[in-house]
Amino acid sequence: MTTETTAPSTPRRRRFFSKSDKITLGFFIGVPTFLHVALVWFPALATMYLSFTYWTGIDISKIQWAGLANYENIFFNTPIFWDAMRVNTVWLLWFFFIATPLGILLAYQIDREIRGHKFYQSAYYLPVVLSLAVTGIIWNFLLRPDGFVNGLLGLPTSQAISFFGDDRYNIWVIMIMASWRHIGYIMLLYLAGLKAVDAALREAATIDGATEWQTFRKVVFPAMRPVNIIVLVITIIESLRAFDMVYIIYGSSGGLPILGVLVFNNIAGEGASMKGAAYAVILFLLTIVPIIAYLRQQFREDVK
């Protein structure tokens, strides 16, 4: 009940912003935030909501709540979903155990400045400059039934090897196509990281009599942790969100089912249903959950 005011507290703020500062800051923060929310968060949340509804994409008043029906449909009634999961898993494992390590190996070699490393560096990086769509076109031209390779083998269309149609080859063909680009990408990222590693560390290891492999494993690799995290995250994202190359070659048909194409296939066109939205949410969770889990664990270790 006291009307007595307390002594004026010392101002906590260390910085004062003038009016024009505030306007500028508001502008610089506000506009990107607005765009980000409007173009990323709103559609993302809308997609999540729509995945629990029935809707053909026409007339917003016709959205019907469907509960988990779309997800039930996908998990229990859609065999192509599991085919796509299989392909995406193979993709992830291939990238994790083969493509990414190869990229790291190349980066290491080039970093050691082997003869002609400048040439190799450009040559390996070149495919990264091309969009995946262009990669798809190039390889399609090489491997389709009336393409270059079947031509070299002298096979007419009727007997051509079915590189994209036959399950014995298609997934590996796509893996090689995707790796062609992925390896160069990882190589460049890693190379940048390697350049930043203190040469003294390596020197010390050499003086201590460590072999090349031991130096890499025990000294260089741990020193590269920030880059390793980025490489791992990129490997997961790249292999799960794959879309363009497969779409270029197969269109939206189920020739080689992957999750990215299923999203598109079910949300575009006359056959639009919110099953496509549900696929998008599944894909999102598959990508984000392992990454968050990994990063949390890493940060916890850092705190210790």
By CB under 8 A, the residues from 72 to 91 that bind another protein are 72-73, 77-80, 83
Q: Are 114 and 105 in contact (CB under 8 A)?
A: no
Q: Which is closer to another protein, CB of 59 or CB of 113?
A: 59
Of 287, 290, 294, 298, the residue at the interface with another protein (CB under 8 A) is: 287
Please state, in angstroms and as integers, the Cα–Cα distance from residue 124 to each residue in 38, 181, 184, 213, 227, following that order: 38, 8, 5, 23, 19
**Which positions from 1 through 60 interact with another protein, judged by CB under 8 A?**
39-40, 42-44, 46-47, 50, 54-60
Can you tell me the distance from the alpha carbon of 99 to that of 210, in angstroms, rounded to the nearest whole number?
Answer: 27
Residue 138 beta carbon to another protein: minimum distance, rounded to whole angstroms: 11
Residue 157 found at the interface with another protein (CB under 8 A): yes
Residue 45 beta carbon to another protein: minimum distance, rounded to whole angstroms: 9
Of 88, 121, 135, 265, the residue at the interface with another protein (CB under 8 A) is: 265
> Cα-flanking dihedrals φ and ψ of residue 11, to 5°?
-60, 130
Of 21, 32, 62, 151, the residue at the interface with another protein (CB under 8 A) is: 62
Of 105, 128, 221, 254, the residue at the interface with another protein (CB under 8 A) is: 254
3-state per-residue secondary structure call for 53-118: EECCCCCHHHCEECCCHHHHHHHHHCHHHHHHHHHHHHHHHHHHHHHHHHHHHHHHHHHCCCCCHH
Burial of 15 (0-12, 13-18, 19+ CB in 10 A): exposed
Q: Are 183 and 99 in contact (CB under 8 A)?
A: yes
Residue 215 found at the interface with another protein (CB under 8 A): no
Residue 266 found at the interface with another protein (CB under 8 A): yes
Residue 250 found at the interface with another protein (CB under 8 A): yes
Give residue 214's Cα distance to chain centre: 31
Q: Which is closer to another protein, CB of 11 or CB of 79?
A: 79
Residue 161 found at the interface with another protein (CB under 8 A): yes
Residue 96 found at the interface with another protein (CB under 8 A): no
Residue 149 found at the interface with another protein (CB under 8 A): no
Candidates 261, 285, 279, 253; CA nearest to 70 is: 279
Q: Which is closer to another protein, CB of 104 or CB of 240?
A: 240
β strands within the chain, DSSP E: 53-54, 64-65
Of 99, 191, 240, 258, the residue at the interface with another protein (CB under 8 A) is: 240
Residue 260 found at the interface with another protein (CB under 8 A): yes
182: part of which helix (H) or strand (E)? helix 170-196
Can you tell me the distance from the alpha carbon of 50 to that of 72, in angstroms, rounded to the nearest whole number?
Answer: 15
Q: Residue 201: count other Cβ atoms within 10 Å of its Cβ.
A: 14
Of 33, 68, 251, 299, the residue at the interface with another protein (CB under 8 A) is: 251
Residue 146 beta carbon to another protein: minimum distance, rounded to whole angstroms: 7
Of 94, 110, 111, 145, the residue at the interface with another protein (CB under 8 A) is: 145
Of 255, 295, 296, 299, the residue at the interface with another protein (CB under 8 A) is: 255
Residue recorded with tokens 């500028």: 24
